[in-house]
Amino acid sequence: MGFTTQIFLFVFFPICLLPYIIIDRISAIKSISWIFEKLRVKDIIIIVFSLGFYMWSSVNDLFRLLLYIFIVYLFGYLIQAIKTKKVNLRKSISLGIIPLVIAVLFVIFNLVYFNYMTFLVDCWNMMSGSYVLVNSLVAPIGISFITFSAISYFTDIYRGHATSGSLIDCLLYISFFPKVISGPIVLWKDFQGQIKTRAMSLNLSTDGLNRIMIGFAKKVILADSFGACLNEIPIDKMDQITAFGTLILYMLQIYYDFSGYSDIAIGIAKIFGFEFKENFNFPYRSTSISEFWRRWHISLGTWFREYVYIPMGGSRRGQWRTLRNLAVVFALTGIWHGAGWNYILWGGINAAFAVVERVIQKKKFYIKTPKAIKYIITMIVVLMFWQLFKFQDFADIGMVFNALFGNVPADTLSYNWMYYFDTQIIFFTVIGILGSTLLGSPKIIAWYNKAVSTKTGYLIQELVLLAVFVVAILFMVNSTYSPFIYFQY
């Protein structure tokens, strides 16, 4: 069940929210509030609907998820029990790391088994010349995000940054429906502190609704329009302008698709009283690949920094180890996104640029290089190599670049760019470019914040958002294209 579907917007979400609001209001009565707190009624409501949300994809996946969460909780409880024993500190650490390692290996094994087994067997067959067969595996939806949540749960308990909590806490954390399928990745230490302290409020709910409306506009009006247009273009029959246009459209599609989903997830969480950190910060304003990854999928970068980069030594052990750690993180980022040589190459290219930037960042020539030139180079790299993310077959990538450089005979072209890029797509493309770049300007942000701080400005904002949301709903009802790109990870 996607967020931008009629069944979610008009059925699931209202049915989920109504009993939650009722219980929240009743539990605010001091004389009986302790009953609802002890029974964890609000948490149970969210868990039940979260499991229903997940079950929509597959009943079998639901049972596997419940078993998975129960095992994760047991590992967390064991790590906590060993860590809190009154024994010598060094001995406690050495004992505590054993269940941590076993727990992490368990969840990684599940991730590798479902997401990478076919790819690994194919690699083995290619290198050994053998012919080992493997049954086609259908990965449980959202397994990559669930795995990272589980590792955060184990590690934060081991480090003493959080406790294991109850089984209800663990269920709520891993299954929470705004984030279970495609993130954002929320660390356990950030989530646990909000379980008991959260509360519904008018400000949070209003902010949440605004984020949902913005997310819907990004996803349904822009991303889906770009995606539908790309689906109509045959990559083996494109002229140069069409080929360049597909690069621009995919660059915008993947941004508005994923950032729109993140906005909706953050907005829903706000309505329930949870505050998630931002997942995007105008990445297409970046002047380096390193900066791009600090602005793109921020929760993923935070996870890798917390649980891979810093444990490996971060930047504290000299230049070469720092470069090695950066390379490992970017390589893992590529592998995390999918089992294929295209993802490995994509991660490797990003790693190479990040390492080079780290080496030259203090060089005079780099410091003196105008930001405009750095920006153009960065965007060209991002623009070109998103194609490795888009296509798993290198032959398809080759066809796109052949068209881009004019290596397609004119007599094989059925249509030129004017057939595919109508007025609406061109208009949306301009809006998409401006929205992903200009709106991130500090001056515009400051002006906007000042404008909406007045009653008139705030009212205008709400009316505009409501109008855009209505348009997004009309697009949603009439559209046949709606898949979220990151649902596959």
pLDDT tens string 55-64: 887 777 888 8
Write the pLDDT tens digit of every residue in 342-400.
888 998 999 999 999 999 988 999 999 999 999 999 999 999 999 988 888 888 889 99
Phi-psi region of 318 (alpha: psi -120 to 50; beta: other; left: phi over 0): left
**pLDDT exceeds 90 at position 314:** no
Q: Is the preceding peptide bond at 370 cis, omega within 30 degrees of 0?
A: no
Q: Rounded to an integer, what distance in angstroms lies between the CA atom of residue 300 and that of residue 302?
A: 5
Write the pLDDT tens digit of every residue in 285-300.
999 999 999 999 999 9
CA-angle at 147, arms to 141 and 148, nearest 5°: 120
H or E stretch at 347: helix 341-360
pLDDT at 59: 72
Closest by CA to 346, choosing from 354, 435, 54, is: 354
pLDDT at 474: 93
Q: Rounded to an integer, what distance in angstroms lies between the CA atom of residue 195 and that of residue 384?
A: 43
pLDDT at 339: 77
Q: Rounded to an integer, what distance in angstroms lies between the CA atom of residue 103 and that of residue 163?
A: 16
Give the count of beta carbons closer than 10 Å to the beta carbon of residue 268: 24
**pLDDT exceeds 60 at position 167:** yes
Q: Rounded to an integer, what distance in angstroms lies between the CA atom of residue 63 and that of residue 308?
A: 30
> Global pTM?
0.92
Write the pLDDT tens digit of every residue in 74-114.
999 999 988 776 445 455 555 668 889 999 999 999 998 88
pLDDT at 26: 87
